[in-house]
Chain A
Amino acid sequence: MNSRRIFAVAYKEWREIVRDRLFLSLAFVVPVSLMLIFGYGINLDVEHIPFAVVDHDKSALSRDYLHRYIDSRYFDYQGDLTSEREIGPLLADSRIRLAFIIPPRFEENLMAGRSVAIQTLIDGTFTFRTSSSKGYVIAINAAFNSELLGNYISQRLGIPLETAREMAQPVKAELRYMYNQEVKSVWSIATVLMMFVLMITPPFLTALGVVREKENGSIYNIYASTVTRGEFLIGKLTPYVGISILNILILWLMVARLFGAPFKGDPLFFFLASVIYVICTTGIGLLVSLLVRTQVAAMMMTVVVTVVPSVLYSGLLVPIASMDPAGQFEAHLFPAMYYTDIILGSFLKGVGMEQLWGKVLALLIYSIVLWTASFLMFHKRPKS
Chain B
Amino acid sequence: MNSDWYILRTRLGSWFSRLMAMTAKELIQFGRDTLLLFAIVYLFVFDTYMAGNVTMQLNKAVVTVHDADHSAASRELIYRFRQPYFKLGGEVLDNHAGQRLLDQGRALVVLDIPPDFAHDIKKGTSVDVQVQVDASNTVLGFLASSYTAQIIGQYGFDQALTSLGIDERALENVPMVRNEYRVWYNPNQKDAWFMPISELLVVITIMGIMLPAAAAVREKERGTIEQLLVSPLTPIQILLSKVIAMTLVILLGTAMSLFFVLHGVFAVPMKGSLILFFAVTTIYSFTTAGLGLYIATLSRNLAQAALLAILVLMPMIFLSGAWTPPEAMPMGLRQAMYISPLYYFIEMGYAILLKGAGLNILWDSLLGLALLGGLIFGFGVWRFRRQFK
Contacts and interface: CB of A to CB of B under 8 A. Distances in A.
B181 A122 contact: yes
Contact of B156 (A171, A181, A185, A348): A171
A127 B143 CA distance: 12
A9 B156 CA distance: 71
A71 interface: no
Contacts of A208: 302-303, 306
Given A148-B176, A179-B136, A22 B128 contact: no
Interface in B113-127: 120-121, 124-127
Interface of A: 20, 22-23, 26-27, 29-30, 33-34, 37-38, 40-50, 65, 89, 91-94, 97, 109-132, 134-135, 137-139, 141-142, 144-146, 148-149, 151-153, 156, 163, 166-181, 183-185, 188-189, 200-201, 204-205, 208-209, 212, 215-216, 291-297, 299-304, 307-308, 311-313, 315, 317-319, 321-324, 326-327, 330, 341, 344, 348-349, 351, 355
A183 B133 CA distance: 10
A78 B76 CA distance: 41
Contacts of B156: 146, 169-172
B184 A93 contact: no
Contacts of A313: 54
Given A131-B57, A178-B133, A312-B54, A297 B35 contact: yes
A341 B134 CA distance: 13
A128 B35 contact: no
Interface in B50-75: 50-51, 53-61
Among B173, B183, B350, B362: residue with most chain A CB under 10 A: B183
Contacts of B148: 173, 175
Closest 7 CB pairs of A and B: A171-B156, A135-B146, A124-B186, A208-B303, A300-B39, A129-B325, A26-B307
A200 B310 contact: yes
Interface residues of B, number: 132
B323 A311 contact: yes
Nearest to A349: B103
Nearest to B360: A89
11 contacts: A22-B304, A49-B327, A120-B180, A126-B325, A128-B56, A129-B328, A134-B183, A168-B160, A178-B135, A188-B136, A304-B43
Interface in B143-199: 143, 145-150, 152-157, 159-161, 163-164, 171-187, 189-191, 194-195, 199
Given A124-B185, A171-B152, A92 B139 contact: no
What is the interface of chain A mostly: helix, strand, loop, or mixed?
helix
B42 to A, nearest CB: 5
Given A122-B184, A125-B350, A204 B306 contact: yes
Among B59, B120, B142, B319: residue with most chain A CB under 10 A: B142
What is the interface of chain B mostly: helix, strand, loop, or mixed?
helix
Contacts of B215: 296
B58 A322 contact: yes
Nearest to B314: A34
A19 to B, nearest CB: 11
Nearest to B130: A174
Contacts of A293: 33, 35
B355 A23 contact: no
Contact of B141 (A146, A177, A295): A177
Contact of B176 (A23, A93, A149, A183): A149
Contact of A115 (B150, B174, B331): B174
A27 B136 CA distance: 30
B134 A292 contact: no
B147 A135 contact: yes
B258 to A, nearest CB: 17
Contacts of A156: 164
A114 B173 contact: yes
A65 B33 CA distance: 63
B299 interface: yes
B88 interface: no
Interface string B325-366: 101111101000000000000010011001111000110010
Given A37-B319, A148-B176, A176 B142 contact: no
A124 B184 contact: yes
B283 interface: no
B36 A297 contact: yes
B33 A297 contact: yes
Contact of B138 (A168, A176, A180, A330): A180
Contact of B328 (A46, A112, A322): A46
Given A172-B156, A296-B211, A327-B53, 18 more contacts: A23-B304, A30-B307, A45-B142, A113-B175, A116-B176, A117-B179, A122-B183, A125-B350, A135-B150, A175-B148, A177-B135, A185-B328, A201-B310, A297-B36, A300-B43, A304-B42, A323-B55, A324-B55
B369 interface: no
